[in-house]
């Protein structure tokens, strides 16, 4: 009798194992799926992002990641990153955290985003109010210096494009809780470039030119003096306004009258 029960017990044991597997696969699997779906998505890079890239909707996307793969500071709303600049490279499909972007309030940034060997230097920009109103952290600019050779202001005015493709770290608009004209713009520069910017800020007027972030060209640009500018303008104007001599006009008219 006991020998006849052994095969039945074996079959029952196998059936119990199969039933347990089915239950685990269906029920527990659904529970895990429901749990993962209940967690908000994580903002990741839609493509590889270089340092200085200003984030917009086309550059980020949401991805469902397990809780164990969610890094500290991960975000679930792409709007939280809109307009912020990347301060270190981010790979494609890699989560973008608060540590990867420049803060909206540069005053609390400390030394964040300043690579080794670089310096943050502030300059006062008086002559470019339209451009400074557009500047944001991560934008890139060219720096022009305007200087009058005479201390009395009667000498020739000279302009030089001193630096090109310089990254903006912060912008403090004119009148933002301080005295003095012009906006204060903090730029990221090499030590030698920072010295040049400091000297220009102390003894000349500074203008900024806003660049397209994908334009990294730095063509050689000569110094430009005001007298030379007007001289070239006068020459081109004289060429544009040149007219036939009166005698030539008279000969042409006489020839037309002689035609039958």
Nearest alpha carbon to residue 221 among 239, 209, 204, 234: 209
pLDDT reported for residue 156: 81
Cα(36)–Cα(226) distance, integer angstroms: 67
pLDDT reported for residue 73: 82
Q: What share of the chain is helix, strand, coil (3-state, %, to 5)?
A: 40, 25, 40
Q: Comparing 7-21, 73-87, 132-146, 198-212, which segment has the lowest mean pLDDT?
A: 7-21
Nearest alpha carbon to residue 134 among 188, 213, 205: 213
Tens of pLDDT, residue by residue over 164-188, are 999 998 888 776 555 567 789 999 9
pTM, two decimal places:
0.53
pLDDT reported for residue 255: 46
Instruction: Give the CA count within 13 Å in the CB-facing half-sphere of 186.
Output: 17
Cα(133)–Cα(147) distance, integer angstroms: 23
pLDDT-derived band at 2 (thresholds 50, 70, 90) equals low
146 and 223 in contact (C-beta within 8 Å)? no
pLDDT reported for residue 208: 94
Right CATH for 42-100 from 3.30.70, 3.90.1210, 3.40.50, 1.10.10:
3.90.1210
Sequence ranges of the domains in the chain: 42-100, 119-235
Helix segments in the chain, DSSP class H: 2-23, 29-38, 129-132, 191-203, 226-240, 246-258
Structure tokens, 26 = 């269906």
């Amino acid at each position: 009798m006991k020998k006849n029960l052994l095969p039945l017990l074996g079959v029952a044991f196998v059936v119990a194992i199969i039933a347990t597997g089915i239950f685990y696969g269906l029920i527990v699997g659904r529970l895990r799926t429901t749990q993962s779906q209940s967690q908000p998505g994580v903002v990741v890079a839609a493509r590889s992002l270089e340092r200085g890239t200003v984030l917009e909707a086309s550059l980020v996307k949401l991805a469902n990641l397990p809780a164990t793969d969610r890094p500290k500071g991960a975000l679930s709303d792409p709007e939280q990153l809109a307009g912020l600049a990347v301060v270190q490279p981010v790979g494609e499909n890699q989560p973008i955290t608060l540590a990867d972007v420049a803060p909206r309030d540069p005053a609390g940034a400390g030394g964040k985003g300043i690579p080794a060997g670089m310096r943050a230097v502030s300059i006062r920009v008086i002559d470019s109010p339209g451009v400074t109103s557009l500047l944001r952290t991560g934008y890139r600019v060219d720096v022009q210096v305007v200087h009058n050779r005479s201390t009395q202001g009667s000498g020739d005015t000279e302009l030089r494009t001193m630096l090109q493709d310089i990254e903006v770290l912060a912008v403090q608009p004119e009148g933002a809780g301080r005295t003095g004209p012009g906006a204060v713009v903090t730029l990221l520069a090499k030590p030698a470039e920072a010295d040049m910017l400091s000297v220009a800020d102390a003894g000349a007027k500074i203008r900024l030119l806003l660049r397209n972030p994908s334009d990294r060209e730095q063509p050689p640009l000569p110094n430009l003096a005001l007298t030379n500018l007007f001289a070239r303008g006068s020459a081109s104007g004289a060429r544009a306004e040149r007219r036939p001599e009166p005698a030539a006009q008279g000969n042409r008219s006489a020839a037309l009258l002689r035609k039958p």
